[in-house]
Chain A
Amino acid sequence: MYRWVSVTLICFLCISVPAAEQGGGITTNPNTVNGIRFLALEEVERQEKLGRIQQGLAAEQTAHEERIRDFSQLAQQMRRLNDLPNNDQRMLACMQLRQKIQELNQKLKDDRANRLGIGDEIRVVLKQEGANEQAIVYLRQATEAIQRLLAETANQEATLKRQLVWLNTYMQRIPPPPVFVNSAGIQMILVSAASEPFYVSAGPITRAIFRLNLEQSGTEEEPLPTAAMTDLTRISAEVFCRRLSGIEGRTYTLPTKTEIRKLLEAGAKPQVAIWVADDWEPETAEERRMGTRFGVSFATIWDPANAFQDKSLVPDLAFAHYDTLGFLVTTNVEAGISARAKRLKALLQ
């Protein structure tokens, strides 16, 4: 109240200069009405702005010190990653760090916006007429301070970007989990961790899992949940893989010949024969020609228990089905990494 009264008094006391006399038409000064400037009002506003600039600058100084502490903590946590006892904990810490980096990045963006805002305000005040010398000196010092802080923010943003890259690289280097259980309940085991790793189901897909995923109604007597799903064609096994891929959001397939070789090297020996994703490669050129000519190809069966022949790999038609023939599913290493990330994210929340 007192403030407005004093402003009004100052206005009346002020010597006003008609704008028309100064050769101006329409003026852009908000404190000018019909060519009359309210110098006292301008001064009050200037004082207010200066006050805001002063407060903002102080707040940004505090924020800057806070960011320095944040960066210090971040660097410290990153250095300690290797001291963690296992990959799961490392991955968890990385995820936490990534979250922190994202938060910090947001803070830096806010800092930049605030500082640019203060800078704009300083420029506006500097452009206004009538500021005293002391104020102008202060404003110039404030400009330098803001520019310095903006430069610091830019440095911090660059540092944060580098840290994020380093963290992502570090996360990528964390080996995939040796085992994971997908949402369909299939336990997947990592094979050939050294080169071209992949996951394979811990055993032949069971009847219970097969029925659950394909929503089949049981027409025969209820089988044991752990019994392998056998007596199915390769076409049925492939349909299962496609549905499983849809459920999991990851590609699941039958094992390829290359994967079978790696399973053999790893000492895997399922008790039933297994459908292989690859078609059978005919042993003679003539058989190959015949297959092409008549449009008939053979599928491949991995027969580690020699249920069909003495050979480990045998051909058969894709619509064949035997009591001793089941299937495994494989997926790529990203599925395991993704499953672990999903599990750890749940822990974070």
Chain B
Amino acid sequence: MIAVTTQKTCCTIPGGHALSRIYLPAVMALLITLTWEATARELRIRHRGNLIRTEIRKTTKTPFLRCHLAMTAGSFPQLYMEEMERLAHEEVPFYEVLLEIKDEDERDRENIEYILQPGEEIEGEMAVREEERAVGPVASAAFDLNGTAIRTDGKGIFTDQNQLLLQPFDDLSVRETTLTVSHERLGQVVLTLRRDLVLQHAVGMAMSESLAPVPDILVAMGLDFEQKRQSSHDGLHVSVVLPTAINPGITFPIQVQAENTGDKVASSVLCRLFSRQAWIHSRIFYIGALNPGEKRTFTRLVSVPADLSPQRVFAALGCWDILGPVLDRNQPIEFVVEPVKQEP
């Protein structure tokens, strides 16, 4: 092809057949030489300068669930369900153009020149950037908590009325448990809860912080289990309150009321039920620190098996504080499971 073109070019020179035969190769050679000389003298290379802008080409939104303990006061832990969004941005960066000018064989950096090319830009490689953001509470929604159906209120709070969250910790050797919370649309989240009986307390946490993630269930319930240096259980009084009628198949509350009438703080007060009946045995009542004159109540719910025959039930409430067992505060408990009265 080149050869043909060259031939055509030769033929277009008017009236100069001989001349063209003699000088044309020389001129061509000269031109090539001159061009070569000029190119060898100076190089111009485009480089990426500073990032000018980022262009989001595509954004993918993935909703997901976030769940954590909410601060509460009382015997029923709460979980806060929050809808979150994970944004995946496909971004392209644009950079300014920086021209590098130097001789071909220039090695000295002092002699290399950089010139910004205004109005010009270089497109960078596309990358994916992720971010998470809170959408809001998952209000009045149904969830599955470790296989049990639960529901949040209008503020996205699930109040554990059945004390499902407390049950794993009734074994004092268990310090950590895992919850799996599932939502139909937002998917599943695994939450790790801790129960530390020597944790620094978080009582009096501001309301603005009350929805911040708290992994410790005692802290979340506003209980103070910090070990006090000078404590006493001399003024500790413990009593148990039971309902009057207990029938098979019902769930009833057992309330432990603790009061400190002494002049020193009672530290890390803890009570536990002991009984031959497995359905009442090993329930733990968390009282924590009781300052002089302070009272605290902790309630546990107990479900009587539906097939339990009417009978007497005996249990003992064992009391413990940081100084050891408080033997003379242990409470005998006796009640009768009566048959359900038939309506006439």
A and B: bona fide binding partners: yes
Q: Which of B237-279 contact A (CB under 8 A)?
A: 271-272, 274-276
Q: Tell me whether B156 is interfacial, beta carbon within 8 Å.
A: no
Which one of A294, A295, A317 lies within 8 Å of B314 (CB-CB)?
Answer: A317
Instruction: Chain A residues near B272: list those with CB within 8 A.
Output: 290, 294, 296
Q: Tell me whether A270 is interfacial, beta carbon within 8 Å.
A: no
Which one of A314, A317, A321 lies within 8 Å of B274 (CB-CB)?
Answer: A317
Name the CB-closest residue of A to B173: A286
Alpha-carbon gap, A62 to B192, bound state (A)? 105
Instruction: Chain B residues near A294: list those with CB within 8 A.
Output: 271-272, 274, 318-320, 325, 330
Q: Tell me whether B327 is interfacial, beta carbon within 8 Å.
A: yes
Question: Is the Cβ of A317 less than 8 Å from the Cβ of B325?
Answer: no
Closest-CB distance, A320 to chain B (whole angstroms): 4
Proximity string of chain A (5-37) to chain B, C-beta cutoff 8 Å, 1 when within and 0 when not: 000000000000000000000000000000000
Q: Which of A305-337 contact B (CB under 8 A)?
A: 308, 314-317, 319-322
A296-B318 contact, Cβ under 8 Å, with A317-B275, A317-B332, A322-B312: yes
Question: Is the Cβ of A316 less than 8 Å from the Cβ of B325?
Answer: no
Chain A CB count within 10 A is highest, among B271, B276, B314, B334, for: B276
Name the CB-closest residue of A to B277: A316
Q: Tell me whether B104 is interfacial, beta carbon within 8 Å.
A: no
Alpha-carbon gap, A317 to B273, bound state (A)? 11
Closest-CB distance, A347 to chain B (whole angstroms): 50
Instruction: Chain B residues near A3: list those with CB within 8 A.
Output: none
Alpha-carbon gap, A295 to B320, bound state (A)? 8
Closest-CB distance, B329 to chain A (whole angstroms): 9
Instruction: Chain B residues near A286: list those with CB within 8 A.
Output: 171-173
Q: Which of A88-120 contact B (CB under 8 A)?
A: none
Q: Tell me whether B87 is interfacial, beta carbon within 8 Å.
A: no
26 residue pairs bridging A and B, Cβ less than 8 Å apart = A289-B172, A289-B173, A290-B172, A290-B282, A293-B172, A293-B318, A293-B320, A293-B325, A294-B274, A294-B320, A294-B325, A294-B330, A295-B320, A296-B330, A298-B274, A298-B276, A308-B276, A315-B276, A316-B314, A317-B274, A317-B275, A317-B332, A319-B334, A320-B276, A320-B312, A322-B312
Alpha-carbon gap, A289 to B274, bound state (A)? 13
Instruction: Chain A residues near B312: list those with CB within 8 A.
Output: 320-322
Name the CB-closest residue of B to A295: B325
Question: Is the Cβ of B276 less than 8 Å from the Cβ of A296?
Answer: no
Given A295-B320, A295-B326, output 8 extra A-B contacts at Cβ < 8 Å: A289-B173, A294-B271, A294-B319, A294-B320, A295-B325, A314-B276, A319-B316, A320-B276
Q: Which of B277-291 contact A (CB under 8 A)?
A: 282
Q: Residues on B close to A: CB < 8 A?
A: 171-173, 271-272, 274-276, 282, 312, 314-316, 318-320, 325-327, 330, 332, 334
Closest-CB distance, A47 to chain B (whole angstroms): 90
Question: Is the Cβ of A319 less than 8 Å from the Cβ of B325?
Answer: no
Q: Residues on A close to B: CB < 8 A?
A: 286, 289-296, 298, 308, 314-317, 319-322
Alpha-carbon gap, A292 to B320, bound state (A)? 10
Instruction: Chain B residues near A314: list those with CB within 8 A.
Output: 276
Closest-CB distance, A239 to chain B (whole angstroms): 17
Instruction: Chain B residues near A289: list those with CB within 8 A.
Output: 172-173
Alpha-carbon gap, A15 to B244, bound state (A)? 122
Alpha-carbon gap, A314 to B172, bound state (A)? 23
Instruction: Chain B residues near A322: list those with CB within 8 A.
Output: 312
Closest-CB distance, A292 to chain B (whole angstroms): 8
Closest-CB distance, B38 to chain A (whole angstroms): 91
Instruction: Chain A residues near B334: list those with CB within 8 A.
Output: 319
Alpha-carbon gap, A315 to B277, bound state (A)? 10
Chain A CB count within 10 A is highest, among B173, B271, B314, B319, for: B314
Closest-CB distance, A63 to chain B (whole angstroms): 72
Chain B CB count within 10 A is highest, among A289, A293, A294, for: A294
Name the CB-closest residue of A to B326: A295
Question: Is the Cβ of A320 less than 8 Å from the Cβ of B314?
Answer: yes
A295-B315 contact, Cβ under 8 Å, with A286-B171, A290-B272, A290-B282: no
Question: Is the Cβ of A317 less than 8 Å from the Cβ of B316?
Answer: yes
Alpha-carbon gap, A291 to B326, bound state (A)? 12
Alpha-carbon gap, A59 to B74, bound state (A)? 103
Question: Is the Cβ of B274 less than 8 Å from the Cβ of A296?
Answer: yes
Closest-CB distance, B312 to chain A (whole angstroms): 6
Question: Is the Cβ of A317 less than 8 Å from the Cβ of B319?
Answer: no
Instruction: Chain A residues near B315: list those with CB within 8 A.
Output: 317
Alpha-carbon gap, A101 to B250, bound state (A)? 78
Alpha-carbon gap, A239 to B172, bound state (A)? 35
Question: Is the Cβ of A295 less than 8 Å from the Cβ of B276?
Answer: no
Closest-CB distance, B304 to chain A (whole angstroms): 17
Closest-CB distance, B71 to chain A (whole angstroms): 29
Instruction: Chain B residues near A298: list those with CB within 8 A.
Output: 274, 276
